[in-house]
Structure 1
Amino acid sequence: MTDFRAALALCLVVLLSLVAQPLGAQPVRAQDARFGDANMAVALYADGAPVAGEEWMLALRFRPSAPEWHGYYANPGDAGQGMDLTLDLPDGWTMGEPIYPVPERLVIAGLMNHIYEGDYTVLVPVRVGSDAAALDAPLTGFVAYLACTDRICVPQDARLEATRGGDFDRWRAEVAPLLDREGGFEIVGETLRVAIPLPADLALSDPHIFVRQSDLGGGARVDYAAPQRFVRKGNLLVADIPLAGAAPEGSGLASLSGIIGFGDGEGLRFDAVPQSISIDGAMPLASEAELPSLWLLILASFAGGLLLNIMPCVFPILSLKALALAKAGGDERAARHDALAYMAGVVLACAVLGALVMTLRAAGQQVGWAFQLQESGVVLALFALTAAITANFLGLFELPGFAISGRGPSTSGSFATGLLAAFVATPCTGPFMALALGAALVLAPLEGMAIFVALGVGLALPFVAVGFVPRLRRLLPRPGPWLARFRAWMALPMGLTVVALGWLVWRLGGWTFVGLAALIAILVVAGLVVLLARGNRLGWAALVAALLLGWWSASQPLAREVSAADSLLDPQPFSESALAEARASGRPVFVWFTADWCVTCKVNESVAIEREATRAAFEEAGVVTLRGDWTRRDEAIASFLADQGAAGVPLYLWYPPGSEARQLPQVLTPQALPDLARDPSPAAAPGSDR
């Protein structure tokens, strides 16, 4: 890697020195080759004689002296140099854009180059003028380009004189043909979205877009090494291409062109104009064989929601919900209405959150499940809410009809409890959820919504069953004096949730942010206590003050950066280039994605990752570790998660040497990682999703 970068730097120095020469002081026709074309020879051919007023096709034929030398596309990618061609044309003659074959992708040290290996031809159209006297004159020119291997780059140049002849039929077949219809493009945040008109039945195995423009305006450019995401919408192929930096509004890019490659050297040239592109109803490009059936995804989402009932996020609320149902006694009608109202609240919350995620992703935002916890305002609201629930459990105030009050059920209270339970459950992810929710974000909107609704039904099912089956209600303990003590004890896990959220607030904004969050929570609790006990205006004033302070706090930029927590495994921060470099080392690679608000992540870290046994096994096997922290929004991590089919965190990937990633289960056992390190073969990924 070091040799490659050093060679690349040397090449750039040489090229800059060429640019610095006063070439403008001498005529183009007098320009002589300085470096020659020994490493990659070039010859100029003409397709017959020029005809006045018509297009005349020329061809630059490049021939490397050895297989290790390669040339570059017009946009070389992260490194390299496109060719610079000048033709000595008579007055009235014009040279068109050179036409290239489909390039190949070469990734070295996390940098992607667009290259050609072996012999290749670039066609150059020329519009011939009407000057008949110039038709018989020889055509000359000058070309400068770069020839590289994986370790060294050498500038090349040559004086040209066109020779009539050459295999133009074959060369025309080798370049990428132009689509007969224009496509569209738009820049949304840090994503370039391109829509290309292609028949829906055209099979695509490995599409990739090579954008011709290196500057998209305002200094933004394509992040060449980042994965490109493709979806189909009828006869449109839509690609989301990550950018290295967001393009400013009004950057003025009037057109876009490039080549879409299909693999094996096949592809098409395209031109695109600015337009708004919607991907509502788009389908993932993956074949149906690569994705489970919709019914299996719905079943996985349902099972994931069912398991959320035992997660620590929602257990205190659900425990009191069960007791509220028990108070319904023999009133079958009231119990069923209560259960249905609770389910309606849960399903509505899951559906709204799912719809919001899909809408934001369709607009080009890289977000995932529980994305709202990356927003400071939502974290403040959740902190104040859990503090108020804790105060309620301790008996500081009562909410009539609300399940967490410990009183009997009511339809409106149960609906609100369902909304609350689903919202509080979002930091938790469990088994089965990753596959289902990841697929929901790339499926058609109705299919995606079905998966989110199934998640809500699974979360609500136990209490629907209790409401509809009297025998289950009779299994619940009968209300009595012990209920007040139990309710107070439930303040303990909810209070621990407040502490955990307080830690997240500190991680996001430091002690100043913690102080603001504490003041908001105090105002909320005090306002509810006064309002429900006395009903006077002082309670309303405290609640309004908490709302205004929360709104102001959420609107302030968080200057504090989230620093990575210490780890026994000493991981590198995740990036595409760091992952490419780690995999190129020939050693096993373990990558995990986490967030401070993800309860499952923290449990896994304490149980399986941050263990001395794991550290010793990884050290013995030479495992390279990378960690992606998604506590705050990170477009690169969100894009990578989407490419892995994951809707959120946690995500654990194991790369055996020379093999592709294997997804590990979302719940890790203590011995899972040490066992992988001792047997790092591709098959040694117990319980992997793929």
Structure 2
Amino acid sequence: MLERLAALLVLLAVAFAGPVSAQGLGDDRIPVELVAESAPQPGETWLVALHFTPSSPEWHGYWSNPGDAGLGMQLEWQLPDGWQPGEPLYPLPRRLVIGGLMNHIYEGDYAVLVPISVPEGAAVANIAPIGVTADYLACTDKICVPQQARLTLDPSRVGSNPQFSAWLADAVPQLDSDARFELTRTHLRVGIPIPAETPLGDVHFFLGTPELGGGDTPNYTGAQTFRRQGNLLVAEMPIDQIAVPPGVELTAEPRPGTIEGILDLGEGRGVRLTARPGDVPLEGVEPFRGNAEPVLWQLLLAALAGGLLLNIMPCVFPILSLKALALAKAGGDERTARRDALAYTAGVVVACAALGSTILLLRSAGEQIGWAFQLQEPAVLVSLFLLALAITANFLGLFQVPGMAVAGGAPSRSGSFSTGLLAAFVATPCTGPFMAVALGAALVIEPVSGLLVFMALGVGLALPFLLVGFIPSIRRRLPRPGVWMETFRRWMALPMGLTALALAWLIWRIGGAEYLALVLALGAFALGGLALVGLFQRRTRTGTLVIFAALVAVLGLGTALLPRPEVQAAGEAESLLDPIDYSEAALAEARRSGRPVFVWFTADWCVTCKVNEGVAIEREATRQAFEDANVIAMRGDWTQRDEEISRMLTQQGAAGVPLYLWYAPGGEAEQLPQVLTPDLLVEKARASARPE
């Protein structure tokens, strides 16, 4: 303890010596600017940011609890009457030990977000500039310099700031459950509710409440231990008794009512938490240090199983016909069957890897997106609609695509590869069993490992075709090619045509009637062009490829030139449950009511969601049970991008929709299965029923 005290005195001496050489206070070491997300609105929370940009890489700033040394930032606001600043929201800090002292620091650019409550009726149009005085510390490993910045911001001149999405992504999210803490003679123990499927790397608990009371002080450099069982993670942090000279009596401060902190999950992930006094179990469980490797194998197996099950999910059914035709064409030729199986698998894996890498790259840039994000883009939906029309026309014999025709000719590797690409792309609206955990974790673990999870999903989706291609006994059971295949192909135009109709309905839901009319006109042009291609194919072989390429180019240009539709209001669909539109504030208010709460996250393009709604949600029995139990129903519509919903999906470890959450009165979120049984919600409501 004496060595720690001596090192602290040395660092403090350096800190106070620093300003002499720095010629007084200033903010030149780590300059800071005050930036707003957008213009303030009456009755809402206005988000501003203090953006710090060190003048050189050697300088670092501090978290609110700097650790053994350093200084947390102090803010003094000058705001209009009634405007109230909230607690600052920090990004994930890192550890730096200098001279045996632990520092909780930030290196490079970083932003601290501050929510400001704007009262109802506030005159924001002609409001005077707001101000803040920020006192903070800039340090290197040798010198510390106090900094002071007096900043102003005119709310009436604020425009949308594109940097905020990245800063919001960096801010550590709040854990959606209360933790518990207890103090023993030697340790602070914190019990944190974390889903068992959450992968853990190099975990560390950053204590945000340094005043423990009772004469105890945190030992920041001491070894932390972690125990895990089911959905509970227990962090133990060593504590020391304040050294008191002989003959001196120290009045013990009271214990804190709550403890704040950040749990670093490893690989740049973390959660903020609030812990209240209570019993923290797991004394007999072996401690561990975070290790993501065993979890990665579990995630890969879960992704493989999830991809395999996608083959029977309703959203993949329209392209099962393509796979069936390719299988039949392979016939008994072993070499051809294996070649086609590998080509199809390559197409599926490439598509899943491309989608996964795109998601990971966009999330690293601060975008709040998840699985099937591309279906939130109107241009992608239009492209899928035109593709479904083209496949329907092909099945009806309007034109032929090399490698995909079923009458005559050898199977094509390029055709099988294209079929694989299409299978994976059309499968993205589905999130079946096993996929939720795997893909949700893939978005927060190390990017390379996350990409492997997406590729394992592709292997699972292609696995049945691989087995048929490489196991002769299965292949021998397939029907022999013949005239029946032409009839079969024409019948398969029916599900593809229904798919095109479903996409047209979705386009209408997103863009409205005028936008759908433009898309239908483009579709009519596409069918006319394909009929012309078919005419050339039947009369002559020359010029067909040129016409087809020109048609694709024109359709691509037409899709790009379509005006972007105005955003339609989410949650407009009628429902028997009369749900509230989801928002973070609405959920918090509903939970405070003391009533059961059911939240479901859906999207118009999610076929699994619609099946579940028809089977379990939109039922008279469910409505009656919810009414009897006084259940609050809430719906989050993710048809178009919504950052609040994306944040909730991330917090729950889900990569996309559907997601179903049940909150018992006073309880925490319980994730329900992604495939709902007809009576599940009725049973949950009856179990939560209580007298009024």
TM-score range for the pair, normalised by the shorter chain length: 0.5 to 0.7
Alignment match, 1:545:
554
1:262–1:564 distance in 2 versus 1, CA, 3 Å: farther
The alpha carbon displacement at 1:291 in A equals 11
1:670–1:411 distance in 2 versus 1, CA, 3 Å: same
Spell out the pairing of 1:134-283 with structure 2 (5 A cutoff): 179=103, 182-185=106-109, 239=171, 262-265=207-210, 282-283=267-268
1:612 aligned onto 2:557: no
**What amino acid does structure 2 have at the position aligned with 1:544?**
A
The alpha carbon displacement at 1:283 in A equals 4.6
Partner SS for 1:627:
strand
Partner SS for 2:297:
helix
The alpha carbon displacement at 1:319 in A equals 3.1
Alignment match, 1:115:
none
Partner SS for 2:464:
helix
Is the 1:392–1:405 Cα contact (8 Å) retained in structure 2?
A: no
Alignment match, 1:248:
none
Q: Give CA deviations for 1:463-495 in whole Å, capped at 9, x if unaligned.
A: 011111111112222223322222122111111
Alignment match, 1:499:
501
1:549–1:457 distance in 2 versus 1, CA, 3 Å: same
Alignment match, 2:232:
none
**Counterpart Cα distance in 1 of 2:488 and 2:496:** 13
Spell out the pairing of 1:574-593 with structure 2 (5 A cutoff): 574-593=582-601
Q: Give CA deviations for 1:176-203 in whole Å, capped at 9, x if unaligned.
A: x995855344579999xxxx999xxxxx
**Counterpart Cα distance in 1 of 2:555 and 2:600:** 37
**What amino acid does structure 2 have at the position aligned with 1:679?**
A
1:407–1:368 distance in 2 versus 1, CA, 3 Å: farther
- Range that drifts further, 182-191 or 392-401: 182-191
Alignment match of 2:446 (pick from 421, 444, 447): 444
* Count of residues in Structure 1 that have an aligned counterpart in Structure 2: 474
Spell out the pairing of 1:504-519 with structure 2 (5 A cutoff): 504-519=506-521
**What amino acid does structure 2 have at the position aligned with 1:548?**
L
Alignment match of 1:568 (pick from 573, 576, 592): 576
Is the 1:313–1:425 Cα contact (8 Å) retained in structure 2?
A: yes
Structure 1 residue runs of 4+, over 4 Å off? 77-80, 99-103, 122-125, 143-146, 177-182, 186-191, 212-222, 263-268, 286-292, 403-408, 536-542
Alignment match of 1:480 (pick from 474, 479, 482): 482
The alpha carbon displacement at 1:261 in A equals 6.7
1:525–1:430 distance in 2 versus 1, CA, 3 Å: same
The alpha carbon displacement at 1:285 in A equals 3.7
1:540–1:527 distance in 2 versus 1, CA, 3 Å: farther
- Range that drifts further, 287-296 or 382-391: 287-296
Spell out the pairing of 1:377-456 with structure 2 (5 A cutoff): 377-402=379-404, 408-456=410-458
Partner SS for 2:688:
coil
Please give the root-mean-square deviation of Cα atoms over the aligned residues, in Å: 4.5
Is the 1:523–1:543 Cα contact (8 Å) retained in structure 2?
A: no
1:101–1:469 distance in 2 versus 1, CA, 3 Å: closer
The alpha carbon displacement at 1:608 in A equals 0.5
The alpha carbon displacement at 1:524 in A equals 2.3
Normalising by structure 2, we get a TM-score of 0.61
1:384–1:439 distance in 2 versus 1, CA, 3 Å: same
The alpha carbon displacement at 1:551 in A equals 0.8
Q: Give CA deviations for 1:152-174 in whole Å, capped at 9, x if unaligned.
A: x9xxxxxxxxxxxxxxxxxxxxx
Q: Give CA deviations for 1:413-452 in whole Å, capped at 9, x if unaligned.
A: 1111111111111112211111100000001011101110
The alpha carbon displacement at 1:563 in A equals 5.1
**Counterpart Cα distance in 2 of 1:264 and 1:403:** 69
The alpha carbon displacement at 1:543 in A equals 3.7
**Counterpart Cα distance in 1 of 2:160 and 2:397:** 58
Alignment match, 2:14:
none
Spell out the pairing of 1:47-126 with structure 2 (5 A cutoff): none
1:349–1:213 distance in 2 versus 1, CA, 3 Å: farther
Is the 1:370–1:426 Cα contact (8 Å) retained in structure 2?
A: yes
Alignment match of 2:523 (pick from 490, 499, 521): 521
Give aligned-pair identity as a percent.
56
**Counterpart Cα distance in 2 of 1:644 and 1:405:** 49
Alignment match, 1:66:
none
Partner SS for 1:547:
helix
**Counterpart Cα distance in 1 of 2:114 and 2:463:** 40
Which has the higher Rg, Structure 1 or Structure 2? 1
**Counterpart Cα distance in 2 of 1:182 and 1:651:** 35
- Range that drifts further, 474-483 or 579-588: 474-483
Alignment match, 2:469:
467
- Range that drifts further, 363-372 or 392-401: 392-401
Is the 1:523–1:542 Cα contact (8 Å) retained in structure 2?
A: no
Is the 2:403–2:415 Cα contact (8 Å) retained in structure 1?
A: yes
Is the 2:329–2:406 Cα contact (8 Å) retained in structure 1?
A: no
**Counterpart Cα distance in 2 of 1:567 and 1:284:** 37
The alpha carbon displacement at 1:552 in A equals 0.5
1:400–1:262 distance in 2 versus 1, CA, 3 Å: same
Is the 1:346–1:456 Cα contact (8 Å) retained in structure 2?
A: yes
**What amino acid does structure 1 have at the position aligned with 2:386?**
A
**Counterpart Cα distance in 1 of 2:407 and 2:651:** 44
1:328 aligned onto 2:330: yes
Partner SS for 1:566:
coil
Alignment match, 2:197:
none
**Counterpart Cα distance in 2 of 1:467 and 1:188:** 56
**Counterpart Cα distance in 2 of 1:529 and 1:562:** 38
The alpha carbon displacement at 1:262 in A equals 2.7
Spell out the pairing of 1:621-636 with structure 2 (5 A cutoff): 621-636=629-644
**What amino acid does structure 2 have at the position aligned with 1:665?**
P
The alpha carbon displacement at 1:612 in A equals 0.5
**Counterpart Cα distance in 2 of 1:473 and 1:188:** 61
**Counterpart Cα distance in 1 of 2:307 and 2:391:** 22
The alpha carbon displacement at 1:407 in A equals 6.6
Is the 2:332–2:476 Cα contact (8 Å) retained in structure 1?
A: no
**Counterpart Cα distance in 2 of 1:579 and 1:405:** 57
**Counterpart Cα distance in 2 of 1:329 and 1:352:** 31
Normalising by structure 1, we get a TM-score of 0.61
Alignment match, 2:200:
none
Residue segments in structure 1 that go unaligned for 5+ positions in a row: 1-52, 55-76, 81-98, 104-121, 126-142, 154-176, 199-211, 231-237, 243-259, 269-278, 682-690
**Counterpart Cα distance in 2 of 1:385 and 1:406:** 24
Q: Give CA deviations for 1:486-506 in whole Å, capped at 9, x if unaligned.
A: 212211111111111111000
Residue segments in structure 2 that go unaligned for 5+ positions in a row: 1-18, 21-42, 47-61, 85-100, 116-136, 140-149, 175-204, 212-217, 220-263, 272-288, 537-542
Partner SS for 2:633:
strand
Alignment match, 1:652:
660
Spell out the pairing of 1:308-347 with structure 2 (5 A cutoff): 308-347=310-349
Q: Give CA deviations for 1:97-136 in whole Å, capped at 9, x if unaligned.
A: xx99869xxxxxxxxxxxxxxxxxx9999xxxxxxxxxxx
- Range that drifts further, 659-668 or 390-399: 390-399
Is the 2:308–2:463 Cα contact (8 Å) retained in structure 1?
A: yes
**Counterpart Cα distance in 2 of 1:412 and 1:405:** 17
Spell out the pairing of 1:41-52 with structure 2 (5 A cutoff): none
Alignment match of 2:602 (pick from 581, 590, 594): 594
Q: Give CA deviations for 1:195-233 in whole Å, capped at 9, x if unaligned.
A: x999xxxxxxxxxxxxx99979875899xxx9x999xxx
The alpha carbon displacement at 1:652 in A equals 0.4
1:624–1:562 distance in 2 versus 1, CA, 3 Å: closer
**Counterpart Cα distance in 2 of 1:145 and 1:411:** 67
Is the 2:591–2:597 Cα contact (8 Å) retained in structure 1?
A: yes
1:634–1:189 distance in 2 versus 1, CA, 3 Å: farther
1:635–1:406 distance in 2 versus 1, CA, 3 Å: farther
Alignment match, 1:162:
none
1:446–1:675 distance in 2 versus 1, CA, 3 Å: same
Alignment match, 1:69:
none
Partner SS for 1:327:
helix
